[in-house]
Amino acid sequence: MFSNNDMISSRQIKRLLIFDLFGISSLLLPAQLAGTGGGMGIWCILAGTGLALFYLWMLQICLGRAAQDYLEYLSQGFGTFLAKLFYVCYGLICITAGAYTAKLLSELMCESLLDSREFPVALLIVLLLALYGGIAGLEARARVYEILFWVLVIPLLIMLALCVRQVQAIQWFPIAGHMDEEAATGFWSGAWRCFMTFLPLTFLLFLVPNVKDTKKTGYAAVCALTVSGLALCIIYLILLGIFGSRALMQEQYPIITLMGMVKIPGEFIKRLDALMVGVWFFTLYAMIGSSLYYGVSILRRAFAKSAADKNAAQKNEPYKKSCYFAAAAAVYGIAYGFYLLPETEHLAGRLFAYIGVPFLMLVPMLSLFLCRGKAHNKGSRVRTNETDHDERKGVDEC
């Protein structure tokens, strides 16, 4: 039997983050980066990954200082009111990000498997599954994706290997694009877009109560970011070498189109794109589940008067389920609004790029100067764990 104490391992953290980082980036970025000019997109990916590594370095310092709770850590430098206000902003960003991903996944399902008129039903099914996963808890979701990891990765690697023979390397050149002011603007815009897709790394800040060793958590996050950045580079080069920059810009989901072009020897599978869309179904679903889970957890923590109230609320199952239902309903309403009013989605995207991303960067950065954390908390936490272990050992011996 598996334990159910909401504690997850570093390996599970790594695989959850890979799912969260890979889905949207591989689906949307190649077409967007093709507009920067030829092979310059690869430098945008490398620059965006470098920005994400710097951001992860800041998060790792915050994790080391926030030995027990990130809200308490922020309260030391910003005060309780501002810290809770920041938590509300974090929660709203998570809910909105979950809504955008749910809309994206539902559209992908309708275009690949269903009819566009069935979007409301597809969105409802997606959110019901995400609701079930959120109520099941973090540890249950981590175990599921730990099992699914290689089941999804191996077929994807095989498909990409079959695509390599169609790549025309001449399409990569000029590898640095056209060096002018417009190209420089496109480069920084592409790097910023790439960095934005790696912002699920922020979830690490709220994993403090769910991990035993923050050092291993940081190492797992670095591995997940490196793997995701490398995979994105390979996919971009394959797509650019097959489609070319102009054709790649015209594709909405070029990686899905590519999967439909691959021919397996024997041709025993006719709709390979419908089969391989399952990879992006699970990665996008993982992002929806993470956004819903952290959105609810963050908002509940923000409105709890103390950590004791938070623990009491966690044990209150009816209250917990009602929070998830309310959050899922909000996600459904926002996602359906994005579908009906595309201009609203574009406005939300601009607000996130110009306000949300600076917020996510500035709060941890300022906390490095204003919040020193409590160094003794980590040691006391370790001693508490050792004491609990000794007590359990004594009980078992009795």
pLDDT at 166 over 90: no
Nearest to 125 by CA among 112, 110, 138: 110
pLDDT at residue 15 in the model: 92
Termini Cα distance of the chain: 23
Nearest to 331 by CA among 298, 301, 295: 295
Residue 25 burial (C-beta neighbours within 10 Å; 0-12, 13-18, 19+): buried
Mean pLDDT of 225-231: 95
pLDDT at residue 372 in the model: 78
Contacts of 49 (CB under 8 A, 6+ apart): 194, 198, 225, 226, 229
d(CA 192, CA 209): 31
In which band, very low, low, confident or very high, does the pLDDT at 383 lie, cut at 50, 70 and 90? very low
Identify the sign of the CA torsion 390, 395, 397, 398.
Answer: positive
CB count within 10 Å of CB 117 equals: 8
d(CA 235, CA 31): 11
d(CA 398, CA 385): 20
> Tens digits of per-residue pLDDT, 29-62?
999 898 776 678 889 999 999 999 999 999 999 9
Identify the sign of the CA torsion 304, 362, 40, 175.
Answer: negative
Mean pLDDT of 371-376: 63
Instruction: Average the pLDDT over each of 67-76, 189-198, 373-382 and give the range with the smallest value.
Output: 373-382
pLDDT at 63 over 70: yes
Tokens of 76: 């030391």
pLDDT at residue 181 in the model: 66
H helices of the chain, in order, are 10-34, 40-65, 70-78, 80-112, 119-136, 138-163, 181-197, 214-243, 245-250, 254-261, 272-303, 307-315, 317-340, 342-351, 357-370, 375-397
> Tens digits of per-residue pLDDT, 320-348?
889 999 999 999 999 999 999 999 999 99
pLDDT at residue 397 in the model: 42
d(CA 326, CA 94): 14
Comparison of pLDDT for 100 and 186, the residue scoring more: 100
d(CA 325, CA 341): 24
Q: Which amino acid is at 303?
A: F
CB count within 10 Å of CB 164 equals: 12
pLDDT at residue 1 in the model: 37
d(CA 232, CA 227): 9
The pLDDT mean for the chain works out to: 83
**218 in helix, strand or coil?**
helix
d(CA 59, CA 77): 16
Please answer whether residues 242 and 236 qualify as being in contact, where contact means their C-beta atoms are separated by less than 8 angstroms. no
Tokens of 361: 């960067």
Please answer whether residues 123 and 102 qualify as being in contact, where contact means their C-beta atoms are separated by less than 8 angstroms. yes
Could you give all domains of the chain from N- to C-terminal order, each with its CATH number?
10-397 (1.20.1740.10)
pLDDT at 373 over 70: no
In which band, very low, low, confident or very high, does the pLDDT at 380 lie, cut at 50, 70 and 90? very low
pLDDT at residue 211 in the model: 80
**194 in helix, strand or coil?**
helix
Most confidently modeled of 127-131, 153-157, 216-220, 277-281?
127-131
> Tens digits of per-residue pLDDT, 284-305?
999 999 999 999 999 999 988 7
User: Percentage of the chain with pLDDT > 90?
Assistant: 47
Tokens of 162: 């079959």
For the chain, give the number of residues. 398
Contacts of 145 (CB under 8 A, 6+ apart): 12, 15, 16, 19, 282, 286
pLDDT at residue 177 in the model: 61
C-alpha separations of 352 from 241, 285, 356, 362 in Å? 32, 21, 4, 14
pLDDT at 379 over 60: no
pLDDT at residue 38 in the model: 61
DSSP 304: -
Q: Which amino acid is at 282?
A: F
Residue 334 burial (C-beta neighbours within 10 Å; 0-12, 13-18, 19+): buried
d(CA 194, CA 199): 9
Instruction: Average the pLDDT over each of 95-109, 183-197, 301-315 and give the range with the smallest value.
Output: 301-315
Whole-prediction pTM: 0.87
CB count within 10 Å of CB 234 equals: 14
Is the bond leading into 342 cis (omega within 30 degrees of zero)? Answer: no
Comparison of pLDDT for 31 and 7, the residue scoring more: 31
Mean pLDDT of 138-155: 88
Nearest to 108 by CA among 260, 292, 295: 260
